[in-house]
Amino acid sequence: MRQHDGTTELMRRMIEPEPFVRNLIFTPGAAVGALSGSLGGTTWSRNRGGPYMRVRAVPVTSTTEFSQNAKARLATASQVWQTLSAGQRLSWKQYADANPATNALGNQIILSGSQIHARSYIRASIAAQTPLVVPPIVSAPTGLLTLSLVADVGAGDVEITFTDTPLAAADRLWIKAAVTSSAGIVYVQNLLRQTALSAVAAISPLSIQTEVEARIGVLTVGQTLHVEVAVFSNTTMQLSQPLKATALVTTT
């Protein structure tokens, strides 16, 4: 996979993660300080996110509606970035420097100004809100205190229960979901897909079956449903730290 400044790969995974991994990030140990180059079909390199290794394979092009929408949003975000003034771009760079992102290993990484702007722009697009020209000056919203999930398809009872409830007047729930065929599969970060965005001031419990099945397919008994839920600010496009919950799909 050709690497640019990391924006394309970062945003693709945030909006349309695929059910397999082509790039793996890693942390070198004491015996290996750094790796670079190729051996067989594997290439070791590094970018803004740190060291990674990738398999040199023919890329898979997704043509789903969700994938096409994600690509269009990313392309538009890149175009909008070009229209920003030097001062506005600098404000996004300073915001990125002051607000490190966390990668899949839990390590903090510094995004570029264009990356952090694209992330904000895409969230605004998904939420049908006016994109920000300059970054927010307030903190991200406070996350949920508790989260639980039930997945009873027979009763039509696929819902999350959360506190505090209701949410603040300008806050919504940003919901990602994934299904696995085995309860033994516990790492699903690469499978989670942005699935639903609640109304503002949502009240617990919240039914998510329609949104989940529209996004990842009809739920069947025996599957395991995973959700990751963060609080989304409808005005600043920021996300809180998420909570996760898992439930076995049943029927009654």
d(CA 167, CA 142): 10
pLDDT at 47 over 80: no
pLDDT at 180 over 50: yes
Q: How confident is the model at residue 181 (pLDDT cuts 50, 70, 90)?
A: very high
Report the percent of the chain where pLDDT is more than 90: 63
pLDDT for 61 equals 72
Q: How confident is the model at residue 10 (pLDDT cuts 50, 70, 90)?
A: very low
- The answer to whether the beta carbons of residues 242 and 228 sit under 8 Å apart is yes
Higher pLDDT, 4 or 179: 179
Q: Where are the domains of the chain?
A: 7-55, 65-126, 146-248
pLDDT at 29 over 70: no
Higher pLDDT, 106 or 248: 248
Q: How confident is the model at residue 37 (pLDDT cuts 50, 70, 90)?
A: low
Q: How confident is the model at residue 5 (pLDDT cuts 50, 70, 90)?
A: very low
pLDDT for 32 equals 56
Query: In the chain, what is the straight-line distance between the N-terminal and C-terminal CA atoms, in Å?
Result: 46
Q: Where are the beta strands (DSSP E) in the chain?
A: 23-25, 37-39, 42-47, 50-55, 101-102, 108-109, 146-152, 157-163, 171-180, 193-197, 206-207, 224-233, 243-248
What's the CATH fold of domain 146-248?
A: Immunoglobulin-like (2.60.40)
pLDDT for 1 equals 37
Mean pLDDT of the chain: 85
Report the percent of the chain where pLDDT is more than 70: 75
Q: If you search the block for the tokens 């969700």, which residue do you land on?
A: 66
pLDDT for 19 equals 38
pLDDT for 40 equals 60
pLDDT for 233 equals 97
pLDDT for 186 equals 83
pLDDT tens, position by position, 121-152:
999 999 999 999 999 999 999 999 999 999 99
Average pLDDT value for residue range 7-18: 45
174: CB partners within 8 A, 6+ apart? 123, 194, 197, 229, 230, 231, 232, 239, 242
Q: How confident is the model at residue 57 (pLDDT cuts 50, 70, 90)?
A: low
Higher pLDDT, 110 or 50: 110
